Structure 1
Amino acid sequence: MPTATLTDADVVRRYAAEIAYVAEAPAPATDLESFIDQLDTAVRNFAMAQMQGHEDLETALTLLAEARDSDAPERPVFLKRADELLTPVWDMADEYRLMVDDGDEEG
């Protein structure tokens, strides 16, 4: 049974909310181009926070740019590898939230 091919939209949908938060974007990305822009900012924010794993996200950023600029046969390879490298984003974003939370939230 063939496996489904990962698409740009799949990657964006999986990680856009977390990346938008860390990038301090007004809204999550809805396409690959805006996701790449937000990921670039998020990588810098993760690096400034000295969070482990930001190097992998930088590699994922490069792979997504390659996917954006590549011919169709190569795209799935770049997207799959970027997806694998982005998997820790949820945990990293949670840790980032704890780091930037100043306790001013009201319940």
Structure 2
Amino acid sequence: MKGMSEQAFLVLTALAEGPLHGYAVVRSVEELSEGRVRLRVGTLYGVLDRLVVEGLAEREREEVHQGRLRRYYRLTDDGVRALSAEVARLSANVRAASSVLRARGAL
């Protein structure tokens, strides 16, 4: 199985907490990644559009806030399954690498 991009993984993880609008997703991804990943607006909506097309996320609602339209996105059941599968894949990779590094005395 091919893994998902780190950006998609973090966006799905953010949405696993509940429906969020774009700016809240950006903040959540930055927090989840401890500042390593900072999504630009264009990148965020590209990732969200792909996740929606793949059925992993969906638009939940739109609302106007301070004169600007906010689109809220939520994780779908398929998104939960995909995120869970990616967590399992990454965990297996971490276990394998950790085992090799321990054997070398590097951990």
Taking structure 2 as the reference length, the TM-score comes to: 0.32
* Structure number having the greater helix percentage: 1
Instruction: Decide which structure has greater strand share.
Output: 2
**Bigger Rg, structure 1 or 2:** 2
Task: Calculate the TM-score normalised by the size of structure 1.
Answer: 0.32
